[in-house]
Chains A and B, each alone.
Chain A
């Protein structure tokens, strides 16, 4: 994968700053992991020779050989089951499930096996597995190629779930997930794969281990503001930032909290933000009912009930399957729907 040479520079602490797309950032994180830890393995459908259906694993097989980066037969349950066995034998697997909709055939292995092997074995068998899952909608893909499974996985004891929103986080959070000894579902927002930004590359493991000081589970203020907090993850962070720009034209100052980790959720970060702004709108692509917005809303209410000036609002997909092409923009939370929810909190 070629990277722009322009925009390359050095950050304050000597870390390299390189402008790249999210695809390239994930590729770089995998490259770093494969280089620093000989126990890491990358596998899945079409990840080897083809370099993945989004070119995210491009060049890795050429660089690390067919033993460490390899194509599997087409069987998602088998892919995750293979990862579980490899982990029990001391490896650190990074399997890819090609599309979110194809994670459903693997749910048995993810939920019944991977998530609870550590518990079942009373800690004898760790599962340092990172399941990479291209996720969410926004690219007008065919059926099963755009889904939001975060609530499903966040509900499963033993799993950790993360969804980056930009290239820099994609790089850092993936390395953090891979280095974690617990199973992580790493949800890549397909609609942001082509987003190009500066990424801080920290080659040395010692430097990178603390991932910029944020532990697993830390959220991030993507934009500070005073009047209300928009809580989002994945591709919806970008949409909320656009909403915040529009709101600013009207004199409304919105904070955007990128939750990043969907399990564990950064309750302290949520509480701190909302107790300042006193209003919260949770935005996600997944359907409303039993979606993660309910969990976030509940956590806010439990922690900062007395600070709230209005009930927490949710702007989500509807309780319908992700629709085809022209209907998808009407399914996903629109800018107007988010603005209306903000207005409701302001006028409560």
Chain B
């Protein structure tokens, strides 16, 4: 079994060459765009536009390569709050996504049903049972869609996650449980979070396959997710994938990693950055040349600039939005309170 210790650079055979050229190039493009957008978001926080931001730096392969395996017409992804690159890959309106980080609306301002990407959710583990329910709904209706639930090593301790795994095992639901084990749940390392050392190993107890992949190897992630989805779609039931990766950035822009982890460890993982790793693999496989990289980077920068301008100038929500979405069928009392708000509060 793989362990989470960072092996020396290059000691893991890279199977990127195993990906079809077109998939690999698309994954690289989305990973690069996510990296640039992530960097831009940190800058927006530093400029005071975002009150805070949670970076996914280092987890681009785990997110993009898994999301790229989804069928955007049939499947549904349930994120927590660090899945920006999943949203990007699935084509979610990124200005709407980043609205959550600009504190314009907690869940973001995109349409989760149309995007097939759930609302941003800060209670880790909470959305995992939703994936099981959504997937069961597909089965009951005779459809072939699969759900993917994203969660982290910290969330794996939550009862909700264990309940969801068991439910999925019992119902044989078409779900992929995709754990990004980025080694640190805020300040708590794997050793103090995961009894037994492996989240994937727990799958056996819930009657499903548990697979550990190098989460910084885009091809390994993509192939594992694709196999799990194929299995789920053909009635084979759920799979738990544990992608071993690393959160290169602090937990959030207000976090200070020097309080709890070693710089040496960060440096060691920096050397395994999934982005240059995929770039090199693409080059070696003959899938990309300088012209390709330049073209991809130009495109990514232009896309990020559009998103940046969009979120920086997005209008704040109307005050009346406080009341608009509480109910489908609003109550008299709430209408009374809204009148009170208009008379006494509205600027």
**A–B in direct contact per CB < 8 Å:** yes
Contact (Cβ within 8 A) B157 A327: no
Main secondary structure of the interface of A (DSSP, over half): loop
Contact (Cβ within 8 A) A143 B107: yes
Q: Which residue of B is nearest A331, CB measured?
A: B322
Which one of A104, A325, A331 contacts B103 once the chains associate, using CB atoms below 8 Å? A325
Known: A105-B160, A319-B334, A337-B345. A74 touches B260 (CB 8 A): no
Residues of B contacting A140 in the complex (Cβ-Cβ under 8 angstroms): 51, 103
Residues of B contacting A318 in the complex (Cβ-Cβ under 8 angstroms): 322-323, 334, 337-338, 341
Residues of B contacting A325 in the complex (Cβ-Cβ under 8 angstroms): 51, 102-104
Contact (Cβ within 8 A) B322 A74: no
Residues of B contacting A142 in the complex (Cβ-Cβ under 8 angstroms): 52, 81, 100, 103, 106, 122
- What is the bound-complex CA distance between A261 and B3, given in angstroms? 50
- What is the bound-complex CA distance between A144 and B187, given in angstroms? 20
Residues of A contacting B338 in the complex (Cβ-Cβ under 8 angstroms): 318
Q: Does B235 contact A (CB under 8 A)?
A: no
Contact (Cβ within 8 A) B103 A45: no
Chain B interface size, under 10 / 10 to 19 / 20 to 34 / 35 or more: 35 or more
Stretch at the interface among B70-78, B214-222, B226-234, B313-321: B313-321
Residues of B contacting A144 in the complex (Cβ-Cβ under 8 angstroms): 122-123
In this complex, the member of B104, B106, B346 whose beta carbon has the largest number of chain A beta carbons within 10 angstroms is B106
- CB of A199 to closest CB in B, whole Å: 25
Q: Does B197 contact A (CB under 8 A)?
A: no
- What is the bound-complex CA distance between A77 and B125, given in angstroms? 13
- What is the bound-complex CA distance between A324 and B125, given in angstroms? 21
Contact (Cβ within 8 A) A288 B337: yes
Stretch at the interface among A10-18, A48-56, A220-228, A263-271: A48-56
- What is the bound-complex CA distance between A104 and B159, given in angstroms? 13
- What is the bound-complex CA distance between A140 and B102, given in angstroms? 11
Main secondary structure of the interface of B (DSSP, over half): loop
Q: Does B303 contact A (CB under 8 A)?
A: no
Within 8 A of B (CB), among A69-100: 71, 73-75, 77-78
Q: Does B296 contact A (CB under 8 A)?
A: no
Q: Does A336 contact B (CB under 8 A)?
A: yes
Q: Does B201 contact A (CB under 8 A)?
A: no
Within 8 A of B (CB), among A290-329: 318-321, 323-327
Q: Does A289 contact B (CB under 8 A)?
A: yes
Within 8 A of B (CB), among A22-71: 45-46, 48-51, 53, 71
**A-B residue pairs, 10 tightest by C-beta:** A325-B103, A50-B187, A143-B106, A73-B157, A74-B154, A75-B157, A324-B103, A326-B316, A46-B187, A74-B157
Known: A50-B187, A73-B192, A105-B126. 16 other contacts (CB 8 A): A50-B259, A74-B155, A74-B158, A75-B159, A101-B123, A143-B122, A288-B337, A319-B326, A326-B103, A327-B317, A327-B322, A330-B341, A330-B347, A331-B322, A334-B344, A337-B344
